[in-house]
């Protein structure tokens, strides 16, 4: 029986990943400190679905407070999804949360992983934010990272730690750089969640900048599929992969699609561009396609429709 650990299990991506693994019969140990970066009710709600599975064990604790050597004793796969997320919130006073939860926590897990004989893979969730304003679009993994936010800096540092532990201690790491993930259970500080909530409440949505910025939006189900492949493909060890949705879209065009899905035009409130936001992102996923067999399955309209259905149910 495969035992896997999912950190950040109560979060957006972690809960979707854990539920898929549980459905396949895996035994999952989920770890989450349920911090208050956003309203914990969202995380508790995500956990409710997971706790219906007898093969799920939940530990509510911070990564730093746990005895990882004993925790990893029989573990085969770690899906390290836990992070302090959010580009805009990473400036100023809250930066120490980013160093603690993105760098220190990752190092603690890697230290224990290097002593764990049963471990077959550590899948690390990274981000397109490490690229910043990339010189090439779509962006391949070989481009030199140039983060434009403190958040991006901490995730890049955690990636570098993963590489060091792979090179020096043969910890079997695989790193996935996610591009603009969306879908059911999306965090309330993320754009589409805000947009759908505004549609339900008939309020204006905040748009940072002119709306002409582009993003490579990736449905959470495709992110889950990439994690599952990264955990088993032998050639993925020690490698970094872009995980994108397969098409770059102008934000203004996405807003038109959202209006069509909800059935009316949502009021828009245009604000100044936010510090740390890259102007354009786009993933070259050819490496993930070749090695992981990654092929995004969910179109933007289908994914947005699924998130809208989830949001309506949640806020009802």
Q: Pairing between strand 248-250 and 214-216?
A: antiparallel
Q: Which of 65, 92, 105 is nearest to 150 (CA)?
A: 92
CA dihedral 309, 86, 255, 210 (to 10 degrees): 170
Query: What is the Cβ-side half-sphere exposure of residue 248, based on CA atoms within 13 angstroms?
Result: 14
Active site residue 178: no
Q: Please tell me the distance from the alpha carbon of residue 238 to that of residue 53, in angstroms, as a whole number.
A: 32
DSSP E strands, 66-213: 77-80, 121-127, 173-178, 181-182, 205-208
Catalytic residue selected from 79, 98, 131, 151: 151
Q: Which two tokens stand for residue 264?
A: 């009316």
Q: Please tell me the distance from the alpha carbon of residue 310 to that of residue 15, in angstroms, as a whole number.
A: 14
Q: Which of 238, 195, 240 is nearest to 217 (CA)?
A: 195
Residue 229: phi, psi to the nearest 5? -70, -40
Contacts of 140-146 with C-beta under 8 Å, sequence gap 24+, read: 140/242, 140/284, 140/286, 140/287, 141/177, 141/240, 141/241, 141/242, 141/284, 141/287
Q: Which of 24, 105, 109, 33 is nearest to 75 (CA)?
A: 109
Q: Which of 312, 164, 194, 306 is nearest to 255 (CA)?
A: 194
Catalytic residues: 151
């Amino acid at each position: 029986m495969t035992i896997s650990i999912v950190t950040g299990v109560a979060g957006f991506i972690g809960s979707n990943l854990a539920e898929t693994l549980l459905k396949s019969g895996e035994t999952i140990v989920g770890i989450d400190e349920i911090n208050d970066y956003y309203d914990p009710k969202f995380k508790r709600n995500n956990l409710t679905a997971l706790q219906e599975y007898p093969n799920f064990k939940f530990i509510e604790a911070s990564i730093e407070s746990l005895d990882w050597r004993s925790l990893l004793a029989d573990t085969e796969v770690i899906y390290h999804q836990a992070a302090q997320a959010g580009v805009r919130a990473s400036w100023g006073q809250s930066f120490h949360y980013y160093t603690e939860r993105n760098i220190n926590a990752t190092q603690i897990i890697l230290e224990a992983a290097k002593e764990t004989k049963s471990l077959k893979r550590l899948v690390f969730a990274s981000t397109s934010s490490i690229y910043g304003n990339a010189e090439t679009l779509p962006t391949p993994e070989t481009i030199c990272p140039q983060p434009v936010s403190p958040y991006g800096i901490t995730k890049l540092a955690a990636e570098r730690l993963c590489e060091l532990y792979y090179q020096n201690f043969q910890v079997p790491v695989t790193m996935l750089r996610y591009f603009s993930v969306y879908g059911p259970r999306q965090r309330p500080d993320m754009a589409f969640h805000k947009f759908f909530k505004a549609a339900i409440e008939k309020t204006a949505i905040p748009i940072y900048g002119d709306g002409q910025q582009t993003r490579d939006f990736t449905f959470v189900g495709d992110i889950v599929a990439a994690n599952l492949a990264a955990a088993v493909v032998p050639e993925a060890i020690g490698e970094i992969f872009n995980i994108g949705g397969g098409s770059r879209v102008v934000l203004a065009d996405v807003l038109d699609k959202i209006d069509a899905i909800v059935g009316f035009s949502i009021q828009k409130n245009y604000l100044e561009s936010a510090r740390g936001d890259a102007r354009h992102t786009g993933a070259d996923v050819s490496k993930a396609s070749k090695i992981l067999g990654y092929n995004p399955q969910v179109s933007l309209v289908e994914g947005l429709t699924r998130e809208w259905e989830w949001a309506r149910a949640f806020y009802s």
